[in-house]
Structure 1
Amino acid sequence: GFAGTVTRIEIFNTIICTPDNKSIIIPNGGLSTGSINNYSIQPYRRVDWTVGISYGESVDRARTLLLDLLRKDPRILWEEKTGMPSVKAPVVVVAELADSSVNLSVRAWVASADYWAVYFDHNEEFYNAITAAPGLSFPFPQLDVHMTAAPQEPRH
């Protein structure tokens, strides 16, 4: 139930430091019988974003815009920079045709230490770029209501 960097492993406890700089002491019993997600052991991580565009707008245009933004960021990794075949070039694909939007899945690889900075920086950058681009916009949830006249009751 906690996330952080392991700072010490003792005989009965493991101490982690959370991203907001709190020290958490976890009994080792739970660690020995449970699973652990280690987000920092690998040198590279994939960052995933979901970006929705309005129906009727060009997926190709949005893809080009988003990939151009990623291409300008030196923190984004490509296979040739790492030599690791698991690290692929950034991609933008249609992930879902949702109720109010066409959801694009944007994926890029970064050094593990850069993960959160890249994630937050590009969230803002994607928003600003799409709202500024002619012909692209973020959709708002919407519901279409169709009204018809009620049948008239016969009068007696």
Structure 2
Amino acid sequence: AALNQLGIQTTSFIAILGAAGLAVGLALQGSLANFAAGVLMIIFRPFRVGDYVEGGGTAGIVEEIQIFTTKLRTPDNKSIIIPNAKITGDNIVNYSAKDSRRMDMIVGVSYDDDYDQVKEVLGDILAKDGRILEEPAPTIGIVEFGDNSVNFAFRPWVKTAEYWDVYFALTEAIKKRFDEEGITIPYPQRDVHLFEHKEEVLQ
């Protein structure tokens, strides 16, 4: 009644309040979700500052974990701020969670090569690198017959902190040793067969 005396329609005023409340609720929905996600991350600690993680559609080193957002630094030195709800709403891969990691490398050789020699050379490469862990034991074996190559699974275990240094070193060592041993690293190719067709000349 008081509103009516002021010239304000009660029904219109209630509708405006309802719309404003809905707008505020929608605006706070994302913030509340991020807040709740931040609390869960603090409690369960899926990762810590300094870990290299993949989540929320990106990957990088965790620099800050705040109540609403998490800050990552990418390998090319970009800072990315991700809402916590986006991180917890997706799979989280923590590459730093364990002390050791397995490398999953595929090494292709020619169908004409000696496969026992290939396994021996790959094993020797691992034996000469002191960073390769003895346990779990590395795996070397034929995993696939490809279109252009016989593919070997090459799976040594290393310390997580040394993963990329060892990866690059092994890749270089494989190329050098294969060249020395005459083992071929094939590339995609096609065999083209040409047939000569002679037309018969009608007499």
Query: Normalised by the size of structure 1, how large is the TM-score?
Result: 0.87
**CA distance in 2: counterparts of 1:74 and 1:3, whole angstroms:** 29
Match of 2:131 in 1: 75
Partner of 2:66: 10
Deviations 1:92-129 (A, max 9, x none): 11111111111111000011111111111111110111
Tell me what 1:142 maps to: 189
| Rg (Cα) greater in structure | 2
Higher RCO, 1 or 2 (CA under 8 Å, sep at least 6)? 1
Q: Do the aligned residues in 2 keep the contact of 1:17 with 1:24 (CA within 8 Å)?
A: yes
Matching of residue 129 in structure 1 with residue 177 in structure 2: yes
Query: Considering only aligned residues, what root-mean-square deviation do their CA atoms show, in Å?
Result: 1.5
CA distance in 2, matches of 1:66, 1:56: 17
What is the aligned-residue identity percentage? Answer: 44
* Equivalent residue number for residue 119 of structure 1: 167
Structure 2 residue matching 1:77: 3-state secondary structure:
coil
The letter for the 2-side match of 1:17 is R
Structure with greater helix percent: 2
Stretches of 4+ aligned residues off by more than 3 angstroms: 153-156
Paired residues, number: 147
**2:147 equivalent in structure 1:** 99
1:43, CA displacement in angstroms?
A: 1.0
Q: Secondary structure of the equivalent of 1:74?
A: coil
CA distance in 2, matches of 1:128, 1:108: 19
Indicate whether 1:66 and 2:122 are aligned: yes
Where structure 2 has 5 or more consecutive residues not aligned to the other structure, the ranges are 1-56
Give the CA deviation at 1:153: 5.1
- Structure whose residues are more often strand by fraction: 1
Q: Could you give the per-residue CA deviations for residues 118-143 of structure 1, whole angstroms, max 9, x where no partner exists? A: 11111111011101113x12113221
